[in-house]
Structure 1
Amino acid sequence: MIRTNIPFFAQTIFITLFSILFFQVGYSQDKISKIYLEKDLAILKSNLEKNHGGLYTYSSKKIIDDWFIQTQKNLKDSMGTFEFYRLLTPLNSVIKNGHTDIPYPKLKKDFKLLPIQLYKYKDSFYVGDFFAKGYEDLLGLQILKIDKQPIGEIYNSLLKNYTRDGDNLTFPNENLSSLFGLDYALIYGSKSNHTITISKDNKNVQIELKSTLLNDEVVNAYEKSKKQKPLSFEINNKVGILTFSTFSERKLEKENYLSFLEESFKKIKHNTIEHLIIDVRDNSGGDALPTQELLSYLLDKEFVMYKDVYTITKKIKDKKYYSNQGVFWLNAFSWLKLKKTMDNHYSLRKIEGMDVFSPKKDNFKGKLYILINGKSFSATGEFTSFLKNNRNVIFIGEEVGGNKVQNTSGISYIITLPYTKQKVKIPLVVWEMNVDYKNDSHGIKPDYWIRNTIGQELNDYDSVLNFTLEFIKNR
């Protein structure tokens, strides 16, 4: 979640998976002695406890303490950075905060990975894409085993390494499916060839799959995504379809989003649109203000989005582990924006989302349908939660990846552990939603679960939107 509306803080630092990979290429696999590994674990634990506002939201202090105790016991007399990473990365699914992350370690230029992406449909796994020539015929086929191990066992093992909000699985599922070839090589070993068992023509067939090097071509393939405009609006047979693919204020301002919203809802009113679809699939979040602006066209009374926005610290004490991230400015000027309200609780002053927001005059009062999936995250979790709490709405698709009660995000710092050089992203700010539900560790769930089959996905068929249009037609 980008919170650019907090000017005194260093902007949230986003390090993509692959900028890390290529920034760190060439790192040697020197062994690090146990005493230094223990020190890095202790430094990480201490910094999480002092700085992470949502550390104990989903797992108790005892669970997290026990994890560190057991992990320390599992340390060998000496370990390389890959081994340490493999030991550390399950912490993502122990903390269960989707904005906390343990990035990949440094990789060598000769690192080899499985050249496929997965597509998961229910409990089955398919070849969704590939990064090497010669495997076109595999596209869409079901995978049963990799190197003689059932794909389900492999997948569930790797899934434990992925960050998520609470017990939600749609968000880590989407990320693992995309990065499966890389994660498999990191955890199970980078090697030249793999044997995969696929289902073809109702027969189980074994195929030798040659690994591919992690080069620019592969990185570009990983970063390839369906290019979406940040905003779009159309009317289809008296049904309005509004797409918001981001809540990033910076990106939306380039699209003049305030005028776009005003004009779109004028058209809705002028054309007497009774059914409105809002598509927030793959919307990974953004800022409070655009979220409020959209909500103001959908709610008919004044609202305040957040109950509280706070940190558990006003200073980063171990600033030597957070170089070039603006920690000095946080420590020097936090008193201007933070007000201590109780022990270890510093509320942010005059923050967007804590203000009273009024409904717009062209407010939509018709039937509302929201399209969602696992990549609907962070601020989109807030948007869907607040809507469900305040008006009648039908959700279609898959469970939202972002939690519906709170998240810890906004301002994040990357700690670099001094001996292993492993990085960990630690979010600081807790955003508590002004909603009535209890935190059940999940995002908003759909009223109608719809996901593309592998065939629909490969043919670019939108089963979620088409289901919704047909549903409206038959109402």
Structure 2
Amino acid sequence: MIKKFFFPLLTAFIFFTGCAVSNKNYNPNKKYTRQELQEDYSLLRNILEKKHPALYWYTPKDSMNFYFDSCYNAIADSMTELQFGWQVLAPLTHNIHCGHTSFSMSNHWNKYISDKITPSFPLFLKVMGDTMVVTGNLNHKDSVIKKGMLINSINGIRNHEMIRQMFQYLPLDGYSDNVNYVRISGNFPYYHRNIFGIYKNYRVGYTDSSGVEKTILLPMFNPVIDTFVRRRKPPMEPKPPRSQLNKERRESYRSMEIDSTINTAVITLNTFSNGGGRHLRSFMRRSFKKIKKQQVKNCILDLRSNGGGDINMSALLTKYLRNAPFKVVDTAYAVAKSFGPYSKYIHQGLLSNIGLLFISKKKKDGNIHFGYWERHWFQPKTKNHFDGQTYVLINGPSFSATTIFCNAVKGQSNITLAGEETGGGWYGNSGLLIPDITLPNTKLKVRLPFFKIVQFNHTIKNGRGVPPDLFIAPTVDGVRRSADRKMEIVKSLIKSSQQIKQE
């Protein structure tokens, strides 16, 4: 567990970096009593044991009881929200091995921290297996540690051991930990700070340009500025109209461009969520219509940042590419009919209870089944269906509804999954309805998937994600070049196949 004295240092720095708190009555340094924390924890355990459909899917009940008890015993005499979340809830949710069961800080904390830069470990690192490569240095005056250098240890902890420890605080589906390499790589200082704490200095082992291992003492990144010196603020630019902001947000969800040099459409879909709404549906329609009109023969579908969302949108995309009827799932069931008696702690719990009366039904196996998804067959699109060669780029963040899409198209002769194993489970996962539990004292949140899903024509339950047909791993050279190797290799394959056909 994280040593207690690190967190007071962190929160003290947070206060120093910004005293203008938007939540007037919120204090991130507030200590909750052991009794308050135990009440929150016991409530969470009761809800998970009675409502979580896959609590024992990858962790046997006796082992799960051990983790429940050990995390309960880790509750100290008093803890802050941050301490309780990372020291207690994070390791608990990790051991459930359900990627949709994770904790998050309270709304007050998120609002408080949104405009603050906190002290941290100074290096951003790309993590690949046991390898850590520098991608950025927050201490801009540091002339020694540069992009592309290999980091071998931090404060005496070697790479493989550090990554192993960090993974014990992060959620995952089954044993598909590929998503957590990407998470840590996205913000290494954040995860290192919350898991190991902060230090005034870090002893970092690295490999220099000549291949020699060395060590250096790096100061923590300290964002503190002289708050007593009034700085002239730049004039505020006028806020763009809402229509422009909405357009920019939609475009961040998806894009499509045609590379005429290789007669290939490149479609990027970063979400299937309701945020795309009807615009996502119309985007797919316009894109495949344009592809057919311009007689494009190849398609690269980039789903590497797609964490899932609306299964209906995932199914819609499948209909444009799959050449045979399909279902989304073989089975989808819950272990309870409603969220009662815990509805008041669950987001829209009462409203969900009403909806569950109409969409689910108890069957002979004693479980509550979501019959629509188990029965409904989807038909491929006849209009603007794409039959050309398709490469689907995937990696760890390809999750949930994206994994369902990958399972539906995998094995089709004109579709190649390229990249790395998905973070979402191939056999199945939990989802469909995923509200937040809000703990009454700390206001921390834990996601609660309500239905267990077993995929259509599923593979064996081995805890792994959907594997690529063409494995393309990240490399140190690729990081140093800031290269998109997966996109480079797939485009090269398309170009080579075209040259062969011309010959």
Whether 1:281 aligns to 2:307 is no
Whether 1:154 aligns to 2:162 is yes
Report how far residue 161 of structure 1 moved: 0.6
Query: C-alpha separation between the residues in 2 aligned to 1:260 and 1:164?
Result: 35
Contact 1:128 1:454 in 2 (8 A): no
Whether 1:243 aligns to 2:250 is no
Report how far residue 163 of structure 1 moved: 0.7
1:69: which partner in 2?
69
Query: C-alpha separation between the residues in 2 aligned to 1:262 and 1:367?
Result: 14
Query: C-alpha separation between the residues in 2 aligned to 1:353 and 1:279?
Result: 30
Match of 1:145 among 153, 165, 179: 153
1:102: which partner in 2?
103
Distance 1:74 1:460, change over 3 A: closer
Contact 2:133 2:151 in 1 (8 A): yes
Report how far residue 457 of structure 1 moved: 3.3
Let me know the Cα RMSD of the aligned residues: 3.3
Report how far residue 289 of structure 1 moved: 2.4
Match of 2:427 among 359, 383, 405: 405
The structure number with the bigger radius of gyration is 2
Distance 1:132 1:360, change over 3 A: farther
Query: C-alpha separation between the residues in 1 aligned to 2:326 and 2:474?
Result: 36
Whether 1:330 aligns to 2:330 is no
Secondary structure in structure 2 of the residue aligned to 1:133 = coil
Report how far residue 418 of structure 1 moved: 3.6
Query: C-alpha separation between the residues in 2 aligned to 1:41 and 1:135?
Result: 44
Report how far residue 473 of structure 1 moved: 4.0
Whether 1:92 aligns to 2:106 is no
Distance 1:421 1:213, change over 3 A: farther
String of CA shifts for 1:246-277, please: whole Å, max 9, x gaps: 22354163252243243144146x35x2x433
Whether 1:127 aligns to 2:134 is yes
TM-score, scaled relative to structure 1:
0.81
Compare 122-131 and 80-89 and name the one that shifted more: 80-89
2:220: which partner in 1?
210
Distance 1:415 1:141, change over 3 A: same
Match of 2:174 among 162, 166, 181: 166
String of CA shifts for 1:386-426, please: whole Å, max 9, x gaps: 11155563222111111122221232232233444433221
Query: C-alpha separation between the residues in 1 aligned to 2:138 and 2:94?
Result: 28
Contact 2:332 2:452 in 1 (8 A): yes
Query: C-alpha separation between the residues in 1 aligned to 2:130 and 2:420?
Result: 15
Query: C-alpha separation between the residues in 1 aligned to 2:165 and 2:473?
Result: 23
String of CA shifts for 1:30-74, please: whole Å, max 9, x gaps: 2523x5444433221110122222222222222211211233344
Larger RCO, structure (CA 8 Å, separation 6 or more): 1
Query: C-alpha separation between the residues in 2 aligned to 1:353 and 1:287?
Result: 18
Query: C-alpha separation between the residues in 1 aligned to 2:390 and 2:22?
Result: 44
Match of 1:303 among 326, 346, 349: 326
1:468: which partner in 2?
490
String of CA shifts for 1:170-216, please: whole Å, max 9, x gaps: 1111112223212222232233332323222233140322233599x
Structure-to-structure mapping, 1:179-190, within 5 angstroms: 179-190=187-198
Query: C-alpha separation between the residues in 2 aligned to 1:160 and 1:434?
Result: 30
Query: C-alpha separation between the residues in 2 aligned to 1:177 and 1:240?
Result: 29
Contact 1:452 1:461 in 2 (8 A): no
Report how far residue 452 of structure 1 moved: 3.5
Letter in 2 for 1:230: R
Distance 1:250 1:37, change over 3 A: closer
Compare 416-425 and 119-128 and name the one that shifted more: 416-425
Letter in 1 for 2:256: S
Query: C-alpha separation between the residues in 2 aligned to 1:454 and 1:292?
Result: 36
Letter in 1 for 2:165: S
Distance 1:416 1:237, change over 3 A: closer
Whether 1:260 aligns to 2:286 is yes
Distance 1:260 1:93, change over 3 A: same
Contact 2:130 2:163 in 1 (8 A): no
Report how far residue 440 of structure 1 moved: 1.7
Q: How many residues align?
A: 440
Whether 1:28 aligns to 2:51 is no
Query: C-alpha separation between the residues in 1 aligned to 2:151 and 2:288?
Result: 48
Query: C-alpha separation between the residues in 2 aligned to 1:330 and 1:234?
Result: 43
Letter in 2 for 1:208: L
Contact 2:308 2:398 in 1 (8 A): yes
Unaligned runs of 5+ in 1: 1-20, 216-224
Letter in 1 for 2:216: Q
